[in-house]
Amino acid sequence: MRVAGRTDAGVHATAQVVSLDVAPGRPATDPLRLRQSVNGLLPHDVAVRKVTLAPDGFDARTHALSRTYDYRVLAAPPSPLRRSRTFQHMGPPLDRAALDACAAACVGQHDFTAFTPSGTDHVFFHRTVLQCQWRDEADEMVLRIEANAFLRHMVRVIVGTMLECGRGRRPVDDFTALLEGAPRSAAGPTALPHALTLVGVRYG
């Protein structure tokens, strides 16, 4: 069994993809029966929404061209009902222009060493970000970021550092300089995991 993307503990996924080999002719090759059977065994906070037959050799991880994440910030009075899915910003309003500038700077190929833990198994730190932008959804600000691949904690450190810029604690030029391979210690804090969701995986 292979999954399209690994996520940190506490991170959500609405579009995780799993590839699984089953023996030909077994009942498991009936997609509807397989979905019902697996959902009957899973805990309440995990569910299979769709099952399809894939071409021979399909691998959910290695065949993925990109992955997309959303990070949700509630820039309004706190909401207990949304506490498990949003980062609830308290304090003066965030500088939206600074956040937008940081997001625009992320697009393209960069060295994201500053945005992953120093103690890592990664040996290559360049990643290509295909889109990165903030949008408004009612009283929430949502960062959507798509890349060919992500480093461990990469999105969460990007968000944590962007929020420092949004609070006026760090200039945008400083954020941009981090994309040239600065050490992890130069970037901001790792944002909390519960506001991050894997929302898409793209294949050819």
The distance from CA 55 to its chain's CA centroid, rounded to whole angstroms, is 27
Q: Does 8 qualify as catalytic in the annotation?
A: yes
d(CA 158, CA 95): 16
142 pairs with which residues across the strands?
Answer: 72, 135
Q: In one letter, which amino acid is 47?
A: A
Q: Annotated catalytic residue: which of 8, 30, 59, 139?
A: 8
d(CA 113, CA 117): 8
70 pairs with which residues across the strands?
Answer: 144, 197
Asked if 31 and 51 touch (Cβ cutoff 8 Å), the reply is yes
- Kindly give the interhelix angle for 154-166 and 96-106, rounded to the nearest 10 degrees: 150
Active site residues: 8
